[in-house]
Structure 1
Amino acid sequence: MQFPAFFDRVPVVRVRDPLAGLLGASEDGVLEYRYADAVRLAGHSCPTVAGAFLTGRAALAALYPDTLPERGGVAVDMPARADDGTTGVVAQVLTLLTGAAAEGGFRGIGGRFARNGLLRFDMPVEGAGGGVCLRRLDSGEAVAVRFDAGVVPADGRQKGRLMTILQGRADTTENAAFATAWQDRVRRILVDHADDPAMVRVTRLRPDPGGWPAPAG
C-alpha cells in the first residue's frame, strides 16, 4: 500500500485516552492519529474527509490549549441528520479523533470510560453558525467549528473528467489526471491551509448550566 507522499506532511493529532492506558493499548495512553488513519476509516481521501480531520484537530486544540486532549472526554453535536449529505462521514472521522460515539458506542467499565451517547445528530446549536459543536465533559467548555472547502477551489477541468469517467469513456491518462488533480486539492487543504481561519473557523460557545450548549430555536 502506498499513500500519496503529502500524507506524511499533514499535521498529526495527539490525544491521551485513559481507556487505552488502562487496557494497555498504549503504555501511557497517548495515541497519535494521522490523516492516513482517517483515510483507512473512510476508504477514500477527499475534501470532506480532510475537512473532518482538520475540524477535529482545530476543536481539540481550542478546547485543550495547554495539555493533550482527552479522547473520550469530549461530546460532539452534529447540526444535521446522520443521513444528510456528508454528515455521517464527518461524524465517523470525529469519532476516530475524539472517541465520541452514538448510542451504539462503548458503554464503559464500572461506570467509567463510556463513549456511547456522546455523539448526537440533528442538534443545531445557537451561535454555532451551522458548525459542528464539541464540548469538554469536565469543564463544559465548548466550541463550534465550520469548515469551508470552497477556500481551496477544485480544478475547473475536474467536472468534465469525472463525467467522462462515470460514462466509461476515460482512458488511463484521463483517470490518472483526475486522481492527481483530486489529491492535489486535498493536499492544498491539509498542508497549505491547515491553519487557515478562513477555511477552518473556530467559535467559542457559552455552555448552558446543564453543560450542553443551548440548542438553536
Structure 2
Amino acid sequence: MSDLVDPETDPAPRRGTDRTNFQHLADADPIAVRDPLAELLGVVPEGDPLVVGFPEVVLAAGHACPAVAGAYRATQLALNDLYPDDLPVRSDIAVEVGGEPDDHGLGPMANVVSHVTGADRETGFTGFGGYGGRENLLSFTDLDGPGRTFAFHRLDTDDSVRVSFAPGAVGMSPPGEDGGSVTDLIPKLVAGEASDAERRRFYDQWHNRVQRVLRAAPGDDSPFTLRHPEH
C-alpha cells in the first residue's frame, strides 16, 4: 500500500502545496538581469532577462526581514546606477561585501546579493570554459560606510558604486503604540507566549518596516547611501 495521502479521503489534507501561501509579503519592484548562460542553454530567448522578484528572495532566505529587504534594495539601487540604459549582466558583476561572513546578518544579506547578481564565492559556477562563470566574483573585505556596505563593480566598463544600508536611519523603525520597538516582542514570539493581539501587532510593524526599506530612496533620512569611489 502506498504511503502517500489520498486527498479525497485524508481528513486533514495539506494546504498550499502548489504554491507558497504568503501571509504577509511586502511589495517591491522586480529586478531584471540578463544571464548569458541561461541564454546559451535556451532557458530564455537571447536578450530576454531573468526577472527576480522579492518573493523569490524570501523563499531562498526563508523569511522576510529588514536585512533581507535591505540587501535586495541595495542591489536594486546599485544595478540601476551601473546600468542606466541596459540590463545588468550576470558574470559581468563583481561584489565586495564589507565585513565577515559570520557578522550578524551579513551572510544572509550576501546570499541575497548573490541570488540576484549571480556573483558567488569560490563555490560559484565556473562556466563553460569560463563562459558565464560566477566563481570568485563575491568576496568579503573591509569597506567604510554607514551600516552594511556593498561595493558593486561592473567588469566590462570598470564602473563601481558603493551602497551602504543603515536600517537604524531616521524614520525606518517606527515605535509601537506603547512606544516600544517591534523587536521587544520577539522573545515572547519565540517562547510562544505572545497573545494574538501581540502577534498581529508584531506582524504589522515588522512587515511595515520591511516595506519601508524596499521603497526607500537614497537621500536625507534614508537608510541607503550611494557613493562612487574614485578610480
Task: Give the TM-score band, short-chain normalised.
Answer: 0.7 to 0.9
Q: Structure 1 56/74 Cα, relative in aligned 2: closer, same or farther at 3 Å?
A: same
Q: Deviations over 1:134-163 (max 9, x none)?
A: 101111111110012123014334233223
Preserved contact between residue 141 and residue 205 of structure 1 (Cα < 8 Å):
no
Determine the C-alpha separation between the residues in 2 that align with 1:154 and 1:162.
16
Shift in Å, 1:59: 0.7
Where structure 2 has 5 or more consecutive residues not aligned to the other structure, the ranges are 1-19
TM-score if structure 1 supplies the norm length? 0.85
Instruction: Indicate yes or no: 2:90 matched with 1:71.
Output: yes
Q: 1:154 to 1:44 in 2, by over 3 A?
A: farther
Paired residue secondary structure (2:168): helix
Cα separation, partners in 2 of 1:187 and 1:18, compared to 1, 3 Å:
same
Q: 1:139 aligns with which of 157, 160, 168?
A: 157
What residue ranges of structure 1 are gaps of 5+ in the alignment? 208-217
Question: Helix, strand or coil for the counterpart of 2:152?
Answer: strand
Identical-pair percentage: 33
Alpha-carbon distance in structure 2 between the residues aligned to 1:41 and 1:89 = 10
- Secondary structure of the 2:119 match is coil
Cα shift at 1:43: 0.4
- What corresponds to 1:107 in structure 2? 126
In structure 2, how many angstroms separate the alpha carbons of the residues matched to 1:61 and 1:54?
10
CA contact (8 A) 1:17 1:31 kept: yes
Moved more, 104-113 or 198-207: 198-207
Instruction: Please state which structure has a larger fraction of its residues in helix.
Output: 1
Q: CA deviation at 1:201?
A: 1.2
Q: Which residue number corresponds to residue 173 of structure 2?
A: 153
Distance in 2 separating the partners of 1:57 and 1:12: 9
* Residue of structure 1 in register with 2:39 after alignment: 21
CA-based RMSD of the aligned residues comes to: 1.9
Could you tell me which residue of structure 2 aligns to residue 171 of structure 1? 195
What is the number of equivalent residue pairs in this alignment? 202
1:10 to 28, 31, 34: 28
Q: Does 1:182 align with 2:202?
A: no
Q: Distance in 1 between matches of 2:154 and 2:184?
A: 44
